[in-house]
Amino acid sequence: MAGTLTKVRGAADSSNSPVWELFCRNGSRFFVKVAPSEIFHVREVHAYRFAVPALGPLCAPRLMASDPAQLAVLLTAASGRNVATTRLKMADRVKVHQQAGLLLRALHSSAGVSIGARVDPGGLLRARRRSVEEHLAAAGDLLSPAERELVRQLATLLPLLSSCPVAFIHGDAQERNLLWDAAKGSVALLNFGRAQPALAVDDFVRLATGPWASQPRLRTAFFTGYGRELTRSEKQVLPALAALDAVSGLAWGARTGDDGVIDRARMTLKLLGNGVVM
């Protein structure tokens, strides 16, 4: 690490991972992040080593060091402001989502998927089917009978996962994990603790139930950058994945007291009930 350390500050992070920002005398900044469990640490280190370089320079933090015993990583600081907490003009948000599409396409086709574990769509399907009732049970009374029926109905679409394209996914693609540098007009992608070989459509769920639901032009910009539209199977199965994400979010938010996650889950269920997510 270049420079003499002059200041350490706790940095807010919404992924349950403690983060500290390090300031050096020469003006450089770094971040130390501690993963909540070994699997998150392993995934993050793997992503930074084998997949993130495909994004290009300055499009993500760089891994400087890792400590498996402490589940910690030392990262460079990417430039820009967090998109989720920054008020942007619509023209800039469109640019953000188009560049996010470019970055995710690069990540999805990176070497991370071939170097990582082989993806078994059939195994993913069986796991998702098991998780439906597990998530419903965990959510308990947080779901109305109508919402339970909606989730079970949408879950019948899960077999379509078997024909969805494989990718090395980010795993938590949403605006809070994007930085926008207005001066450079560039976007950086953050937080790779959930990155793994899986299905590309998994990375579209939280965007589809978040900013795209109210601003379709952002969705158009994203897929312009991504270079292709959803396949027929991806489009059909996306609401089912959104339903599972919402139900698991309800249970997790109630258990941890995270009202933001609960609110997002309830909004997703409302959108699904109105047939908005697609």
- The string of pLDDT tens digits covering residues 121-170 is 788 888 888 989 899 998 889 999 999 999 999 999 999 999 999 999 99
Q: Residue 90, class by beta-carbon neighbours within 10 Å (0-12 exposed, 13-18 middle, 19+ buried)?
A: exposed
Instruction: Give the CATH architecture of domain 81-273.
Output: Alpha-Beta Complex (3.90)
The confidence band for 247, taking pLDDT boundaries of 50, 70 and 90, is very high
More confident residue, 162 or 114: 162
Give the phi and the psi of residue 74 in degrees, each rounded to 5. -110, 125
The pLDDT of residue 1 is above 70: no
List, in sequence order, every residue forming a beta bridge with 20; answer none if it has no partner.
Answer: 10, 32
Distance between CA atoms of residues 2 and 54, nearest Å: 25
CB atoms within 10 A of CB 69: 5
Query: Tell me: the pLDDT tens digits for 55-110?
Result: 998 899 999 999 999 999 999 999 999 999 999 999 999 999 999 999 999 999 98
- CA gap 127, 132 in Å, rounded: 9
- Report the distance separating Cα 103 and Cα 125, nearest Å: 26
Residues of the chain with CATH 3.90.1200.10: 81-273
User: Band of the pLDDT at 26, cuts 50, 70, 90?
Assistant: confident
For the entire predicted model, the pTM comes to 0.91
Instruction: Please list the residue range(s) of the chain that carry CATH number 3.30.200.20.
Output: 5-76
Fold of the 5-76 domain: Phosphorylase Kinase; domain 1 (3.30.200)
